[in-house]
Amino acid sequence: MAIFNSFLLGQVSKSVGNVTMCQLRGESVARGKIKFRRDNPTPEVLDMRAKIRELGGLGKRLVPVIRKGFVGVGGSTTSNAFVKMNLGAVDVTAEHVATVDFDRLKLASGVLIPPSMTVTVDALGSQFSVSAAAQEAMSGFAALEDLLWLVFIDTELRQAVMLNVGTRENGGMATFSLPENWTAEQVKAYCFATSENGKEVSDSKLLTITPEE
């Protein structure tokens, strides 16, 4: 940085080439532009970047789910809330390669009481049956009108299907036929509840998929 007084230029505030001129405390100041920035991130920084990149890519594929599951969390966008909530669900190798552990993944976060659901799959692995139990109201934490949601994810394809199973008052049932390109062994099921207006949410739960008897 250099201080100068130029009768030719007067009081200037602009850039010429690699020099930016401005006024600072009544004097003309010239600053050189920074061309290069040294970036030598630590392993911890590289791990965090890998996690955020991995979750950001997954989040783009789960946008409809995330918009329901992370409403009003931390005052940020639903996508940012999803990433922040799931940093602990990502494992990183020594080479800074990140992998999501879908058993630890959270698809929703909030104060409502989660639903009570069961999921079974038929012998062919082609059709899933969902049953949601009716639940009682609890002031501030469960309303009879709350909506119950079930999400299936093919963890390899990273594709998702979201079903409205019913309401907290009545419970409900639903069936889901496996899409042609999905593999039953790669499917995970999660459930959560939202208020009728969608402004309140429960935490999500990973459900165990059991074979039909």
* DSSP conformation class of 16: E
Q: What is the pLDDT of residue 35?
A: 55
Q: Give percent helix, percent strand, percent coil of the chain, each to the nearest 5.
A: 20, 35, 45
Average pLDDT over residues 153-173: 98
Considering only CA atoms, give the Rg of the chain. 26
SS3 category, 101: coil
Give the torsion through C-alpha atoms of 155, 158, 164, 167, to 10 deg: 50
Q: What is the pLDDT of residue 188?
A: 98
CB 134 within 8 A of CB 183: no
Distances (CA, A) of 28 to 13, 17, 18, 34, 204: 8, 17, 16, 19, 59
Q: What is the pLDDT of residue 32?
A: 59
pLDDT band at 213 (very low <50, low <70, confident <90, very high): confident
pLDDT band at 97 (very low <50, low <70, confident <90, very high): very high
Fold exhibited by the domain 43-211: Immunoglobulin-like (2.60.40)
Residue intervals of the chain classified under CATH 2.60.40.10 are: 43-211
Closest CA to 102 of 84, 83, 89: 89
- 126, pLDDT greater than 60: yes
pTM of the shown model: 0.80
